[in-house]
Amino acid sequence: MSDNISLLHITKPVQGTFELPLSKSMVNRALLLAAMYPEITLSGMSTSSDSVYLQQVLDGYLGDSAMVGAGGTTLRFATAYWACQEGAQMELYGTERLNKRPIAPLVDALNTLGASVSYTAAEGEAPLRIQGRNLKGGRLHLGHVSSSQFITALMLISPKMEEGLHLTWDSAPSQPYLVMTAALLRESGFEVLLTAEEFKISAGQQPKKVELFIERDWSAVAFWCEVVALSNEASIELLGFKPESLQGDSRVLDYFEPLGVKSTFENGSLMLIKKAVLPLGKFTANLISEPDLAQALITTLLVTKVPFEIHGLQTLKTKETNRIAALEQLAHTLGISVKSSRDSLACADYPDEFTGGPKSYDSLEDHRVAMSLAPLSLRFPVTIKDPSVVAKSYPEFWNHFTQLQ
């Protein structure tokens, strides 16, 4: 794909049937469990570059000095995995942006539990040098945790620890991802305890022979909800979805329903239909448990001129880009004034008309930013720089989206 993609203004009714990728969140957790235990297999594999990198680094395919791409999950899960592989020698690093994303809380926790992980360049940043050991485990208090991925990485390798693992913490974002991890551990045959501030697994447990079922990706549904919300008439069918899900992002339907998106489940598909809605006085939400929905949801609110106040966004600043800043930049381009804080974004009123002319946007090396910008073409022509970043989670996105053109 070229360095830019130009999307025409879509004025016709939008319709289509699409098969979204498997959840990379579920795949990545299952990959780590399968790498530790041959009894565990997966029902399918994600096409996302994050999952492909993770599978390759867990298999040792990338060698003992591995570049893991741009995925925070990939680096954090791979670090935990190699830390508990006795006798292994591994160096892990990623893109320049990934190397600067937070990793110290996980490294500190692993080393406290008996690992040997060190920094080869700047303190607190990848590249990491790992000498695999049998981890002792035991009890560890983590305090206020900035990313649920740190807890998840420890949960996934906890069955290998000599004394089991008893984690406690004061607070952690994105708790549905911890629930997903615990569910996959239980499905694999392990007995675990998980509460809002505690995880516990006893030592000596073994897995059962199982094929872990991988769901379609609910976080990708958000961008199709955005399409429907910004359209005048729409009917989108997404194959392979059911109401029950381990993914917290399945709440996307609740967030978009008042914005004109009617959802139903029919014959194993999720149907998204445009519906009429009354004007909203103010839209409020807390996305602390579903931060990956923020880009699609807030972009929709801005373009439909709905006053809003969204909280729970504190993890967005340390994603592939600063996603709060990306939303502020979008608002500025449209001539909209927004107010931001460490964990929130709000807009009280809108101009009568958006800033005129065709719009050109930078994806900022972030897959969710790129995908959230595409539906703007339901309102005006859009050009997006570096569209290939969607490969991180949804490689088929542009092939699917351009079918609407």
- The single residue of 50, 292, 343, 386 carrying the catalytic annotation is 292
Per residue, the 3-state secondary structure of the chain, as one string, reads CCCEEEECCCCCCEEEEECCCECHHHHHHHHHHHHHCCCEEECCCCCCHHHHHHHHHHCCCCCCEEECCCCHHHHHHHHHHHHCCCCCEEEEECCHHHHHCCCHHHHHHHHHCCCEEEECCCCCCCCEEEECCCCCCEEEECCECCCHHHHHHHHHHHHHCCCCEEEECCECCCHHHHHHHHHHHHHCCCCEEEECCEEEECCCCCCCCEEECCCECHHHHHHHHHHHHHCCCEEEEEECCCCCCCCHHHHHHHHHHHHCEEEEEECCEEEEEECCCCCCCCEEEECCCCHHHHHHHHHHHHHCCCCEEEECCHHHHHCCCCHHHHHHHHHHHHCCCCEECCCEEEECCCCCCCCCCCEEEECCCCHHHHHHHHHHHHCCCEEEECHHHHHHCCCCHHHHHHHHC
Neighbour-count burial for 85-95, b at 16+ CB within 10 Å, e otherwise: beeeebbbbbb
Q: Strands 359-362 and 382-385, how do they pair? A: parallel
**Among 96, 103, 104, 94, which Cα is nearest to 71's?**
94
Question: Are 3 and 400 in contact, with CB atoms under 8 Å apart?
Answer: no
Entry field: residues in the chain: 405
186: Cβ–Cβ under 8 A, 6 or more apart, which residues?
Answer: 192
Per the annotation, the verdict on 292 as an active-site residue is yes
Question: Are 127 and 151 in contact, with CB atoms under 8 Å apart?
Answer: no
Question: Are 30 and 52 in contact, with CB atoms under 8 Å apart?
Answer: no
User: What is the maximum span of the chain, computed from C-alpha positions, in angstroms?
Assistant: 65
Q: Which residues are annotated as catalytic?
A: 292
